[in-house]
Structure 1
Amino acid sequence: MKRIEQKFKELGDKKALVTYITAGDPGLDETEQLIYAMERGGADIIELGIPYSDPIADGPVIQAAGKRALDNGTRLFKVFEVVKKTREKTEIPLVFLIYFNTILSQGIENFIKKCKEAGVDGLIIPDLPLEEREEIRELIEGSDVDLIPLVAPNSKERLGDIINQGGSGFVYCISSFGVTGVRDNFDVDLKSFLEEVRAVTDLPLAVGFGISSREHVEKIHRIADGAIVGSAIVKLVHETNGDPKVIEKKVRELKGC
C-alpha cells in the first residue's frame, strides 16, 4: 500500500494535517530537520515546495521563500538528496509541490525515476494542463508515487476529468480564489464545493490556501478529510531562521495536541 493511502487508512475517522515548507529555505540542512520537527509535532503528510522562478499559484510569502531558496543554491537534485536522507529515519509521506517546467527541464521520465528512487510519495503540479497529464500518468502508473489532483472552485465543469484521469492519493481542494496566503475567511461556500468534489471521487479531500490557525483547521476538519497549512508555517520558518523547536510547537498547535 502506498504511504499516503496507508496514512489515511491509519487515521480512520481522524482527520489529516498536511504541512508545507519551501525546500531550501533557509537551507537544505534545515529542511531535513524541519521535516522531522513537523512529524514530531503531529503532521501526517508533508509537502515540500520546489522553488521556482515564476510560481503562479503562490502568494508573496511562498514566493519570497522560493527566491531565498534559489538564491542560496537550492536545486532539485539537492532536494532529492534530502528526501533520500529522510527516508533513512522516517516513513512520513512526502509530497512535492512542483511546477511543470521544472519537471520538463529534467525530462519527465528521468524525473519520475528519481522520485521513485528517492522515496517521493506524491506530486502536486499546479500548472499541469489536463491535456499534458497522460505521459506523467503512464510513467507513474504501478509505482508508489501519487499524482495528486488539484481542483479549484472554478473547476466544476471538469472536476471528473481532473480527478479521475490518473489522480490518486488525495484531492487538493483550493479553498479560495487567487493565490496562497494567510486569510481571515474564505471566498466560497466550501461545504457545497466539497460536496461537488465528493460526488465524483472516493479519494480523501484535503483543503488548502489560507489555513493558518487551529480554528481554521478545526473548521476544515468538520467538512473535509484533511487541512493543508502552508504560508503560516513558511512565514514562521523565515522569522525564526528555521528553528525546529518553534515549528514543532506551531504544528502541535495546529494539530490540537
Structure 2
Amino acid sequence: MTYDVHVRDAVNHQSIALRADLERAQPTLGAFSVAGYPDLRSGVETFVAFAQSGATVLEVGAPAVEPWRDGPVIAAAHRRALRGGDGVSTTLETVRQVSTLSDRPVITMMYWATVLAYGAKRMAQELASVGAAGCLVPDVPPAYAPAWARAAVEAGIIAPLLASRGVSLGELGAMCRSATGFIYAPAAAGQRTGYSAGVDLESLATFVGVARRVALTTPVLTGIGISIPELAASAVRRCGVAGVVIGSPLVRALTNGGLDRAIPVVERFATSMNQAWVG
C-alpha cells in the first residue's frame, strides 16, 4: 500500500521517537504487560519501571475477554485487569499516564475484536490523543489490514502488523507492505505467548529475510518464544531483527513477585541484547 507523503508524515512525537529507536543500530527491547494489571496504578508504575530498567519501547496490552493468542500467564493477567473495569478505558488511561511519565515510546497491543467493536478510526484517534506511538493488532484479517493501517497513520500513529508463516508469499507480502513502523515476526511459528520449548533460529532468520525483501525499509521485531535473555541475544545477532519484545517472562515475574522480581528480568534482557550488539 502506498501512502501520500503528507499522510506518512502526519505522525505524533511518540511515533517519531519510536521510528528513531528502530532505526538506530542498538537493538530495541520492547517490554509488554497488560494495562490495569494487577490494577491501574500498579500497571502504570510497572511500565515506568520497565523504561527505567532498560526497555526502549513499552507495549501496553489492552485487556480482552478472549485473548486467544496469549498463553495462560498473560491470559490470566487479562482476566485480572478486566475486574477493574472496561478494557479500552483502562488502556487509554494507562497510555496517557505512561506517555506523560516516561520518555519511551508507548504502543498498544489490541485484538481486532476490540478495535472493530470500538471503531477503527475512533480507536486510532483516541490512541493518538493519549500519546500512543502505535497499535499492534496481531489478528487483523488480511482484507482489513490496509484500511486499519490507513486509519492509524491518518490519526498520527503507526500500525505494526504480525507476519505469519502459515500464509502464501502473496499474502505475506501484502501484510508486510501494509504494516507501518515495524513488522512483528513471531519467533515460534504458530504458538501462543509463553511458549518456551525452543526456537529454530535458522528458520526465523530465513523468514525475517523474506519479510525484509518484500518490505525493504520496514524494521522487523520478534517475540513469542523468546523466553530467556540468551535467546534474545541470539535472535538479534543471527536473525536480522531490529529488536525483541518480551511479555510472558515479565508478566510471570510480576505475578510471582511484583516489580522486585520483574525489574531484574528487564535488566538481564537489556544487558544480553546490548552485549550481542557490541560483540
Alignment of 1:238 onto 2:255: yes
Give the 3-state SS of the residue equivalent to 1:81 in structure 2.
helix
Matches within 5 A, 1:203-222: 203-222=218-237
CA–CA distance in 2 between the matches of 1:78 and 1:49? 10
Alignment of 1:155 onto 2:155: no
Is the Cα–Cα contact under 8 Å of residues 55 and 63 in structure 1 kept in the other structure? yes
CA–CA distance in 2 between the matches of 1:64 and 1:74? 16
The structural deviation recorded for 1:71 is 2.3
Is the Cα–Cα contact under 8 Å of residues 152 and 175 in structure 1 kept in the other structure? no
Is the Cα–Cα contact under 8 Å of residues 44 and 93 in structure 1 kept in the other structure? yes
Higher relative contact order (CA 8 A, sep 6+): 1
The structural deviation recorded for 1:76 is 1.1
Gaps of 5+ in 2: 1-12, 273-279
Is the Cα–Cα contact under 8 Å of residues 153 and 175 in structure 1 kept in the other structure? no
User: Identity percentage over the alignment?
Assistant: 24
- Which runs of structure 1 show a deviation greater than 4 angstroms over 4 or more consecutive aligned residues? none
Instruction: After superposition, give the CA deviation of every residue in 1:211-250 in whole Å (9 maximum; x if it has no partner).
Output: 121111111111211111111111111112x32x432221
Give the 3-state SS of the residue equivalent to 1:37 in structure 2.
helix
CA–CA distance in 2 between the matches of 1:71 and 1:138? 33
Give the 3-state SS of the residue equivalent to 1:24 in structure 2.
coil
The structural deviation recorded for 1:156 is 4.7
Gaps of 5+ in 1: none
CA–CA distance in 2 between the matches of 1:137 and 1:15? 25
Give the 3-state SS of the residue equivalent to 1:155 in structure 2.
coil
Q: Which residue of the other structure, out of 102, 109, 112, is the alignment partner of 2:121? A: 109
| Equivalence for 2:207 | 193
The structural deviation recorded for 1:52 is 0.9
The structural deviation recorded for 1:133 is 2.4
TM-score, structure 1 length as denominator? 0.91
Alignment of 1:226 onto 2:247: no
Counterpart residue identity of residue 3, structure 1: A
Give the 3-state SS of the residue equivalent to 2:251 in structure 1.
helix
Is the Cα–Cα contact under 8 Å of residues 160 and 183 in structure 2 kept in the other structure? yes
Give the 3-state SS of the residue equivalent to 1:146 in structure 2.
coil
| Equivalence for 1:168 | 180
More helix by share: 2
Q: Which residue of the other structure, out of 123, 126, 149, is the alignment partner of 2:135? A: 123
CA–CA distance in 1 between the matches of 2:268 and 2:35? 22
Is the Cα–Cα contact under 8 Å of residues 64 and 87 in structure 2 kept in the other structure? no
What is the aligned length? 252
Is the Cα–Cα contact under 8 Å of residues 211 and 230 in structure 1 kept in the other structure? no
CA–CA distance in 1 between the matches of 2:164 and 2:123? 26
Question: What's the C-alpha RMSD, in Å, of the aligned pairs?
Answer: 1.8
CA–CA distance in 2 between the matches of 1:3 and 1:185? 33
| Equivalence for 1:7 | 21
